Amino acid sequence: MKVMIVPTPEIGARIVADRIEGLVRYKPNSVLGLATGSSPISLYKELVERSYSINWAKVTTINLDNYCGLADDHPQSYRAEMNANLFDHILIHKDCQTFVPNGMGDEEDIEAECCNYMSRIIERGGIDLQILGIGTNAHIAFNEPGSAFDSRTRRVELDEATREVNKRFFGGDITKVPTHALTMGIGTIMEAREIYLLAWGEGKAEAVAKSVEGPVTTQVPASVLQLHQNAAFVVDDAAVLALKFKDRYARVLDF
């Protein structure tokens, strides 16, 4: 795993967008694992700006997670978020090329959805490049502390801390934040051939430091990335404030 310190999220976004553009040129039917939330916004803006230099025709996108109980047309559902930030602005068929877990339905529906979700990834040969954000508790996707490193797509209960942080997307009202979500597991994420975790701002500094310099433990889910051969934390100066050995990592001044 490597760490790349960049001055701004926009510069980090350019670096990762370049990699995506190169990958899709080399492998037009690439499978991209995508994240939601605020961290990938600058990346999606950059990808939208490059919409004519990336050929999306054969690409598949697989999102990490979604809330349970929010229909696709709910503005806070991750389907709606992905459409608004990326899919509505690029030449991609949402119905057959983009996948966001569907957290609606009863226990049986959810179980079937989790199974189908995993099959989709396997049928397409696995994820080529995975984008991640990181929670303030170091979760990746919605794998909260304590999640097994070999976990797969499943329904999980969200930590109170995660709901508290995410209430900003629900008008500041925690009672509106769903209590459960569907998430890709850590085992699946670790099988991606290349991973970029994006973290911006001081609010992520503790989680980044524990994940990069602390022991690998299920209590710090993102620490598992230390074991990945081709994972990079792309972080800004504020997000590395708590790292002890900042000088050891690559610093990109401009791109």
Active site residues: 65, 137, 139, 144
Q: How far apart are CA 92 and CA 190, in angstroms?
A: 26
Distance in Å, CB of 50 to ligand F6R, minimum: 21
Answer for which of 133, 178, 185, 221 binds ligand F6R (CB under 6 A) is 133
Angle among Cα 233, 17, 169 to the nearest 5 degrees reads 70
Smaller CB separation from ligand F6R, 27 or 176:
176
x/- contact string, 178-217, with ligand F6R (CB under 6 A)? ----------------------------------------
Distance in Å, CB of 135 to ligand F6R, minimum: 4
Asked if 60 is part of the footprint of ligand F6R (rule: CB under 6 A), the reply reads no
| 150, burial (CB in 10 Å: exposed 0-12, middle 13-18, buried 19+) | exposed
Q: Strand pairing of 154-157 and 180-183?
A: antiparallel
Question: In the bound complex, which residue of the shown chain has the CB atom lying closest to ligand F6R?
Answer: 133
User: Whose structure tokens read 């919409």?
Assistant: 51
The closest alpha carbon to 47, from 79, 75, 80, 19, belongs to 19
Smaller CB separation from ligand F6R, 36 or 223:
36
| Both structure tokens of 221 | 């889910």
- Per CB under 6 A, residues contacting ligand F6R are 35-39, 64-65, 133-135, 139-141
